Structure 1
Amino acid sequence: MTTDATVFVVDDDQAMRTSLQWLIESTGMSVQTYESADVFLASYYPGRAGCLLLDVRMPGMSGLELQSYLAREGYRLPVILITGHGDVSMAVKAMKAGAVDFIEKPFHDEDLLRSIRRALEDDQRQRAGQAARADIAARLAELTPREHEVMAMVTDGKSNKDIAAALGVSAKTVEAHRARVMEKMRADSLAELVRMALIAGADGPAVR
């Protein structure tokens, strides 16, 4: 779990905010509390590591509405929803919208802490994946248009001979392009190059 991760608690009940802050800080985790969704949005900036612990029913923007807003804006902060008025349909809606968990008051402290740890682990894995995709994207940007073509066909399983025929060049030229692709992508094997193409392709076309 990353040491700079923060549990952001949004609840209009001051006593609940204080109780949650004490509980979470007692485990060594960092906590910041907010009395409303608007106050949270005014201070949060995208990219901060952590998770969001939301009360469902609050004056103004509700927890579910804040969850939906963050999703629309592309914020990938894991969300845990808590409420004293939950029902099955609300829980299903929250989970379908991507919530890590939905916890109804009163809850056991350890159940909540377990959900928070899972959310922070999800956030850490997600950030590691984003960093890997950004690194691969930077390497892809170094390729020429022809090298992109060669990489696409290589990672599609085509032989040098097939690539040469498709591009109207010699097999020796394909070998040269392929070597430069491997060098620029810093790939030690074809399997690693394919893995990079798959990772890059998760956010769009791996190669042009």
Structure 2
Amino acid sequence: MTPPHSSPPIRLLLCDDHAVVRAGLRALLSSTDGFEVVGEAGSGEEALALAARVRPDIVLMDLQLGDGMDGVTATRHLSAGDGGPRVLVLTMFDTDADISRAIEAGAAGYLLKAERPEELFAAIRNAASGRTALSAPVADRVLAQLRNPRPALSERERDILQQLARGLGNREIARALFISEATVKTHLGRIYSKLGVDTRAGAVAVAKEQRLLP
């Protein structure tokens, strides 16, 4: 009698700059049937190098990785081309900007660290099967974005927003960006409209909340 065929375990690479978090994930996943942790990385650069070597099926990727390459950039590199691993973002951050950037970079899913282990296991299996995996709160935010899309800031508007965050006035911004004060005022009006604010402080606060500033 032929023994039943068992699928090979899903090979996982963990990328988080906190060693304690990686240890917890490794212990959780290694004790669950169907998963094999094949590597750990503490930075985006390390994740890219390790992924090329150990060939994981799924990379669990945090977004904030300290100095150096962030999780979105690492996700974009890992997701480029065919044959690479699928990237599942696992993070504490659930702002619209973070979610949009991760999905645009090619993430196969977006999960919050507050999820129950069963949700994480299901998301990994979904991602490995080629499906998308989103935490329920993240899915709600994605739907809200689709229903009420907010106009994206242009590159020039982002430049001006950065100068605003530095505390510069209109004249100083105009001088720094080699444009007229009138042009600065026009761009500020558009920035306020897109961010739903009416003050400089409000624009900076929303930009920080939505992670629009580098």
User: TM-score, with normalisation over the residues of structure 1?
Assistant: 0.52
Q: Which residue of 2 aligns with 1:131?
A: none
Tell me the alpha carbon deviations over residues 36-69 of structure 1, each in whole angstroms, 9 at most, x when there is no partner.
Answer: 1222222322792510100000021111110112
Alpha-carbon separation, structure 2, partners of 1:91 and 1:38:
21
Q: CA deviation at 1:110?
A: 1.0
Alpha-carbon separation, structure 2, partners of 1:47 and 1:35:
15
| Structure 2 CA distance for partners of 1:77 and 1:57, relative to 1, 3 Å | same
Which structure 1 residue ranges, 4+ long, deviate > 4 Å from structure 2? none
Q: How many residues align?
A: 123
Q: Which structure has greater helix proportion?
A: 1
Q: Which residue of 2 aligns with 1:50?
A: 57
2:94 is paired with a residue of what secondary structure?
Answer: coil
* 2:13 corresponds to 1:8: yes
Q: Which residue of 1 aligns with 2:25?
A: 20
| Structure 2 CA distance for partners of 1:106 and 1:14, relative to 1, 3 Å | same
Alpha-carbon separation, structure 2, partners of 1:4 and 1:105:
23
After the TM superposition, which of the residue ranges 84-93 and 19-28 deviates more from structure 2? 84-93
Q: Please point out which of 4, 21, 40 is paired with 1:33.
A: 40
Q: CA deviation at 1:102?
A: 0.8
Are 2:44 and 2:74, in contact at CA under 8 Å, matched by a contact in 1?
yes
* 2:110 corresponds to 1:102: yes
Q: CA deviation at 1:33?
A: 1.5
- The one-letter code sitting in structure 2 at the alignment partner of 1:25 is S
**Aligned-CA RMSD value:** 2.4
| Structure 2 CA distance for partners of 1:68 and 1:75, relative to 1, 3 Å | farther
Q: CA deviation at 1:97?
A: 3.0
Equivalent positions of 1:77-96 (< 5 A) are: 77-96=85-104
Give structure 2 stretches of 5+ with no counterpart: 1-5, 132-214
User: TM-score, with normalisation over the residues of structure 2?
Assistant: 0.51
2:88 is paired with a residue of what secondary structure?
Answer: strand
Q: State the identity as a percent.
A: 24
- The one-letter code sitting in structure 2 at the alignment partner of 1:54 is M
